[in-house]
Structure 1
Amino acid sequence: MNISASAGEGSPDRAGYRRSAGSPRGEARRRELLDRVTEDLAANGIVDFSLRRAARAAGTTHKVLLYHFDGADDLLVQATVQLRRRRIGKALAAATEDGARRSLGEWVRAIWPILLSDDEAAVLDQAIGLAMYDSGRYAALGREASQQYLPTLLAVCPEHWSGQRKLEVAEMVLATLRGFLVDARTSGDTAGVAAGFEALVRALEREEAAGE
């Protein structure tokens, strides 16, 4: 895995973002560049991602990217966040397309095909793998994943549940689905993953029924 580094990457003060966010024009330019890099990431994955590759994809120079972002690591995290936001949007659209009120188990069943087979799934799985491989440098890739998925999972839990119960179930669903996705990518055991997924749905149905 070769993710090129640049001076100042990972800086907590996000200086590059502050520079470009100083004006509407600067922010628009930053978003335009990020959109182009995100498309490249979706098409070509994380392996061999670098500032130079990102610059080619964005049709600019690495110096311009360093004006708007804090280096390759920062750009990788932001592009991954944008990809995951698109994935969540697709999943929500699939789960709500008929307007019906779904139980938590039904909701998870509705989004599962999107999580398993959408075009960006492999890239986002690579991001989690990179966070596990080098947590010191890429912990944000895993942390951002939880921060993005949890609000949606909390929102679809039964309204009458306590905040603590919602959090416990949402964390369980997130961790279990993530495990299934890794297993599906690495083992090829589709039957085993399918069986485990059905067990998860039954567990969620029991959990929801127990609170009624």
Structure 2
Amino acid sequence: MRRYIGFIIILLGLCRVHAAENTSPTFKMTGDVSLLSQYVEYGLNQSDKSPALQGSFWFNFGPQFRLGLWGSNTNFKNSDDHFNLRANADVKVDFSQTTNAVISYSESQYFKAGDHNGNIFGLHLNFSDFHVLYDHLSNWEGTKHSSSRYALGLDFHPWNTWLWENEIGYNTPDVTTINPYFDFKTGLGTKLGPIFLEGSVTATSAAGDLDGEGDIFFILSAKTDF
């Protein structure tokens, strides 16, 4: 608990320092809603290959600091966790117009069993369309053991309204029966009016060790902001 309190203090301190650089902070609410053919996170299926409806809500305390909620239906084998609600906080530190760092924290709660409850700490470095990512999960896949993920991402803009997103991650779960493994994702999407449509493919290098949760998955998604 002490480290969580300390992290929140650091977030607030960074927010105060960088907010002072912008004399006209904009306090506003943002959010989005997404419909997916299936929910896959870090290469692992979170909805047992069933569709998922997700939504997020953020309150922005100026340009650097924001708090919000995110939710999604879930479905796991041998678990009664059918909904995930996350309380999120992040701080964005801008180094230039195209370079920034985002420090994030999520308190993740599952209903109704709570087998997958935990928290996620992230540090993401963004260099225009290139991304260096680190995430630490306190309860990896409901095992009560932690896992760290190191990832690289690269985005392309092949056509005017199209976005091609690519990411590769290296996962190190602290579980004796699972060796470190890679996850891969590539997705191509475009915006049609207010809706962003995307088709993506995910996979892992340890599909045989993950009880079907790390297979090759094709995902169709539609997202709109509000």
Which TM-score band applies after superposition, normalised by the shorter structure?
Answer: under 0.3
- Higher relative CO (Cα under 8 Å, sequence separation at least 6) belongs to 1
More helix by share: 1
More strand by share: 2
Give the structure-1-normalised TM-score.
Answer: 0.28
- Structure with bigger gyration radius: 1
